Chains A and B, each alone.
Chain A
Amino acid sequence: MTVRIIPKLLVAEIETRSGLRSAIVRTKNFHERTVVGSLDSQARILEAAYADEFLLVFIDCQIQKDFNGVLREVSNLRDKIAVPLTIGGSIDSVGVASALFRAGADRVCIGHEALRNPSLVADIAARYGNQAVLASVDFQAGRRNATGIPIRLRTGVTINELEFQSLLGTLVGNGAGQIHLHDMTRDGSGAGLDIHFFRDLALEQLGIPVVLSGGCGVAEDFVQAFIELSVSGIAASTYFARRDQNPIQVRAHASNGGIDVRPVLNRRQRI
């Protein structure tokens, strides 16, 4: 089974002289933003560079504010690219998910709405199958103290590792087909994934594929995490937003590290 290298495309609303416009941004510590380019051009460049799939997140609640605009953007993108699209960003009902599937999503990413409304994951999974739901948890891990490692969730609640593990188990039980963990502390830092923290969570016991993100700075960070954590995928936004990095390079590093990756087509196989 091959691992997945997943560019995360963060779609933000940016102010221009002619009004609000949609653009891909990268973030640091979840807040500081830098514009990277347009969704179409970024996605097409990354598809040509063998991105295994995309995680597309509308980070300014556009799904709530301008859903028709979001559906148009998804549909336009889908006409141009032929790799899997997971779409997220404040999806709070089966109806919203359904409209996204019709417009071009192949899977939906459910974030803290899954924590607020426990039946949301179950309801989408019942209709679209567990494989169509990626449950996503954004967190900040603190320093270990007497009660363990304090882990702050985006809902504002702080829990320890055992509670965190049990939360992930609940998401799996509700029907999530995959789990995505995003480390907000390392977001955009380039410091590498927090291998020790993730290892202690015993993610392999969840029984479903896990995708990690937050911190990849060099290709070796992907390789190390694939080897030491045996996760199914690693997502990154800042890393792929830099012009000198792309999924083909990561693939080559991973392959050299003995990791099974989707091979690049040779000339004879191409159409």
Chain B
Amino acid sequence: MPRRDPHVAVCDYGAGNLNSILAALKRTGASVNLCEYPEEMPDFTSHIVIPGVASFGTVSNALQESGWANYLATAQSNGPAILGICVGLQFLAKGSDEHGFRQGLGIIDTRVVSIGTPQARQHVGWDEVQFREDTFGFSSQEHPYFYFDHGYALDARGDWCRGTSSYGSEFCAIAKVGRVWGVQFHPELSGELGHKFLAGFIQE
């Protein structure tokens, strides 16, 4: 069967910076649609994005209710590639302490914890990412800058962690388990390099 152009389904969980991610994905040449339920994904969907900009509780509630959580937790290795952004990455972990403990998908075997120090709890702005291996055209030798905006993160200890950044201490900036990716930064807000990352992902 001839390979189709990439089509990205973006999970619409009732929050998130939706147009920012839709616009950025369209700039990579992909076709996109918003899906409140997994059943709304077209058959030819090649990629799924879980956008950021929401509290963990919002994402957890909405994705459980809509059936997305169940779909994502049982995603097949030959199914669409998945990318979680910011809280979308965090939801892949076992759970988070943001506004009280809530359960995540458990695809990544760790918990989400607050970062920084009591004097500096929010990591906001452009920061360096250290890739642990060559990814989407970025080499492990370079340290590109991406835009971050978060107060919680995953630790960087597991072998699922493919890139790191730090704020007070080191945390996971890029995670990968099979065909499931997650980034703590916002590629859709990170200018040319963010575009390069997303363009790499949709070729995955």
Contact = CB atoms under 8 A, between A and B. Distances in A.
Interface of A: 1-4, 47, 52-53, 74-75, 78-79, 82-85, 98, 101-107, 125-132, 177-178, 204-205, 207-209, 232-233, 262-263, 265, 269-271
Nearest to B145: A262
A268 to B, nearest CB: 9
A2 B123 CA distance: 10
Contacts of A101: 15-18, 53
Interface string B18-39: 1110011011000000000000
Interface in B114-160: 118-127, 142, 144-145, 147, 149-151
B56 to A, nearest CB: 8
A263 B167 CA distance: 18
Given A82-B188, A106-B20, A269-B193, A129 B127 contact: no
Nearest to A205: B119
Contacts of B79: none
Given A82-B194, A126-B57, A207 B149 contact: no
Given A4-B126, A106-B53, A207-B119, A129 B87 contact: yes
Given A82-B188, A98-B15, A178 B124 contact: yes
Contacts of B54: 127-129, 132
11 contacts: A47-B191, A82-B23, A83-B189, A84-B149, A101-B17, A106-B186, A106-B189, A178-B124, A208-B122, A209-B124, A232-B124
A107 B149 contact: yes
A129 B142 contact: no
Contact of B58 (A52, A128, A205, A232): A128
B87 A207 contact: no
B122 A177 contact: yes
A107 to B, nearest CB: 7
B98 interface: yes
A79 B23 contact: yes
Contact of A177 (B18, B127, B147, B151): B151
A132 B118 CA distance: 19
Contacts of B126: 2, 4, 52, 262
Nearest to B58: A127
Contact of A131 (B15, B18, B26, B151): B151
Top 6 nearest A-B pairs (CB, nearest first) are: A262-B126, A104-B19, A129-B55, A84-B189, A106-B17, A131-B149
B87 A105 contact: no
B27 A82 contact: yes
A130 B118 CA distance: 15
A84 B26 CA distance: 17
